[in-house]
Amino acid sequence: EKTGKVLGEFCRCYKEQFGVALFNSVRYEIEGAGGPQPQLLHRKVPLEDHVIYSGNIFQYIEENKKWRNRFCVVPHNYGLVLYENKLAYERELPPRVLVNSAGYKVLTSVEQYLELVNNSLPGVTPKSGHSPILKCPTDFPVILWHPYARHYYFCVMTGKEQQKWRAVFQDCVRHCNNGISEDSRVEAPAFTDAIRMYRQSREQYGTWDMLCGNETQVLSNLVMEELLPELRSAIGPRLKGKAPERQRTWIQVSDAVYRMVYELAKAQYEAAVARCEQERPQLESTIRTDMDQIITSKEHLASKIRALVLPKAEVCVRNHVQPYISSILEALMTPTSQGFAEVREVFFKEVTDMNMNVVNEGGLEKLVEYMEKLSHLAFHPVKMQSCYEKMEQLKLEGLQQRFDVSSTSVFKQRAQIHMRQQMDDAVHTFETLLHQELGKLQGKDDLCKSIQRILERVLKKFDYDSSTVRKKFFREALLQITIPFLLKKLAPTCKGELAKFQELIFEDFASFILVENTYEEVVLQSVMKDIMQALSPVPGAEVPAGTGRFVTPTSSPVPGAEVPSGTGREHPAPPSPVPRAGAPSEAEVPHVTPRSSVPASPVSGAAVPSGAEVPHVTPRSSVPASPVPRAAVPSEAEVPLVTPRSSVPAEPPSAPSVPHATPVPPSPREAEVPHVTAAPPGAQSPSPACPQRSDKEPEQRSPPQPRGTAGSGEGVQTEF
């Protein structure tokens, strides 16, 4: 009954938002948008059919309460696939477990885990001296915890292995959380706006930790958020046995309910989408025929709402938001800029090492082998970890409480996804330019000089693009933090007045113009000027070591309220009435749904009901999108990239789109694993002369793949 009620209300919101999203999409298609064009090339066809990571790891089997050695493989879609042993994998036998890690947290201590378990069932805590719910045979656990779904327990033999597997699992979570396809210009904005409107109707304005996974997973999390407290009150007191046994039973009950909710949510959401798609041709025809009248009608409504709301909103911005914008920006800039500088450094080092290896070990004959390894750099969880770790330093301190930001994870993961995409774009651009040169090369010296020259060109392009990407990321984050806060502050004095504006909307246009959305656009306008002002000058940004100079933008940005993402992806999303911090479209001010602070990902790993598809999601924020498609917004100036040591963070960037995931066939016990493509890291500038390996200089090679199945072997990156 509870599930039906929540889903019914959501589907009503979705139907309303579908018409608005369709209108925005058609309007964007007709009007287009300008903005800085990316200089790096984007890989149109994602890399597939390669293994990102593999190795042996111990897993706790709950059915027989034993630890067993498993061979774990992370394919290109970032699912965790566990086999009986390596031989079973090589023989292509069915895996034991498929885990989709969306919504999970990666823990590396039993104490952390027990604290979360104790909090999940208040009043049920094992007494001192009693056995806890989990005992680990080594000092190096790696645990996947989920608030609703089943948990997964692993351990390894050394701290070094633990750090590697933690990096691998976190990469999987980051990828799987990013589950809503950005290629969808109508359904995705309609869905995220509907989620946001539903939560705001219950006075929940801030970021939401469980906005991760595909649409069905997010809906399941929405239902569970309301259902779980009631379930806990009804079932908790009736659980029997000692505290650890009751905790174990509660996790199983929660997982079973979650799976049932998932199936119901899947059916109802698909039915709602089908109904909207059925009406789509008629709606689109009306939009194309009456576009000018709809825009005029919407502007008339906005002017009336603006007269009521803007004075109050501006006072609220002046008193409660403006004084904190620079502090928020500063907190975001330092770790983000350091992360992108590390991307640049890693890219530079890998290409320089490759150049040295090729020159010293066979020239063109070895080039193919090394280029194959380089092409997967953005997908290498361990090599990319130093970039991602920079972002983990993000802290909003007191700002988090003031603006009702439940966690900084949503910002960390979004920036990390941008880093990966920039790395992949840099690698792909390098590959393309080198391929064009190959026919003209003669001998090792020519090859060495050519690689260096191309590296310099790519680094310049990277510097320009990463500046745009960072700037856009900062803008989205500021919107995601401030807009929900403003909406909550203004609700008592403004929300009650909105109903009277309904009569200003012509009945024929009621599917495309909503009072609530227009109100949010007005609120967004009230703070946008201050945000863009804060973003325009970022003095003192240091030039990364060895860069020498920065490329000048080839195309000056076109001012417009919807500032394009600058990454020029093939499928720009149309402007949405609410900015999505997760994956804003080009030329649009990010549209935001309260995105979870947890890495955006589809449904929780194996925790999703069998047969459930688990697409790849992009974290969305909870901010309304730029209302008017071409409102004046300062053009984006190029911002030099800051080195990790720079005390002055670099400017924000525009967000590259993250490739969407393709669902993996479901397993009877586990959820489907989303198919994902990673994003890229950066590099440091090349040295002026051809590198030569000294006699004592070690070769840079990928570690060999693990062999055998005995013991917890160290996980290794599959040879590239």
pLDDT tens digits, 303-333: 999 999 999 999 999 999 999 999 999 999 9
Q: Are 454 and 433 in contact (CB under 8 A)?
A: yes
pLDDT, residue 130, reads 59
User: What residues contact 469, with CB distance under 8 A and at least 6 apart?
Assistant: 340, 418, 421, 422, 565, 566, 567, 652, 653, 654, 655, 656
**pLDDT tens digits along 530-589:** 999 999 865 333 333 333 323 323 333 333 333 333 333 333 344 343 444 333 333 333
* CA–CA separation, 118 and 144 (whole Å): 16
Task: HSE, CB side, 13 Å, CA atoms: give it for residue 189.
Answer: 32
Q: What are phi and psi of 99, to 5 degrees?
A: -115, 125
User: What residues contact 225, with CB distance under 8 A and at least 6 apart?
Assistant: 210
Which of 486, 592, 616 lies closest to 193, judged by CA? Answer: 592
pLDDT, residue 679, reads 38
pLDDT, residue 360, reads 84
pLDDT, residue 398, reads 79
Helix (H) / strand (E) element for 218: namely helix 215-235
Q: Calculate the average pLDDT of the chain.
A: 78
- Ranges assigned E (strand) in 146-182: 152-156
How does DSSP assign 47-60, residue by residue? --S-EEEEEEEEEE
pLDDT, residue 368, reads 86
User: What residues contact 157, with CB distance under 8 A and at least 6 apart?
Assistant: 138, 140, 711, 712
pLDDT band, very low/low/confident/very high, at 691 (cuts 50, 70, 90): very low
**pLDDT tens digits along 212-257:** 999 999 999 999 999 999 999 999 888 888 888 899 999 999 999 9
289, amino acid identity = T
Q: Measure Cα distances from 330 to 237, 337, 419, 580 in Å.
A: 48, 11, 19, 21
* CA–CA separation, 168 and 142 (whole Å): 11
3-state SS, one letter per residue, for 378-437: HHCHHHHHHHHHHHCCCCCCHHHHHCCCCCCHHHHHHHHHHHHHHHHHHHHHHHHHHHHH
pLDDT, residue 34, reads 64
Which of 179, 183, 172, 175 lies closest to 195, judged by CA? Answer: 179
* CA–CA separation, 188 and 18 (whole Å): 9
pLDDT, residue 440, reads 79
574, amino acid identity = P
* CA–CA separation, 649 and 467 (whole Å): 11
In the chain, the N- to C-terminal Cα span, in Å, equals 52
pLDDT band, very low/low/confident/very high, at 339 (cuts 50, 70, 90): very high
Kindly tell me if the per-residue pLDDT of 615 is higher than 60.
no
**pLDDT tens digits along 433-467:** 999 988 777 777 888 899 999 999 999 999 999 99
Q: Is 311 exposed, middle or buried (0-12, 13-18, 19+ CB in 10 A)?
A: exposed
Q: Is 575 exposed, middle or buried (0-12, 13-18, 19+ CB in 10 A)?
A: buried
pLDDT, residue 129, reads 52
Q: Measure Cα distances from 342 to 419, 453, 646 in Å.
A: 9, 21, 12
**In this structure, what token pair is assigned to residue 690?**
């051809």
Q: Are 410 and 595 in contact (CB under 8 A)?
A: yes
Domain map of the chain by residue range? 323-535
Which of 557, 551, 628, 620 lies closest to 590, judged by CA? Answer: 620
pLDDT average, residue stretch 259-268: 96
**Between residues 617 and 239, which one has the greater pLDDT?**
239
Kindly tell me if the per-residue pLDDT of 475 is higher than 90.
yes
User: What residues contact 517, with CB distance under 8 A and at least 6 apart?
Assistant: 17, 20, 193, 577, 578, 624
User: What residues contact 166, with CB distance under 8 A and at least 6 apart?
Assistant: 106, 108, 142
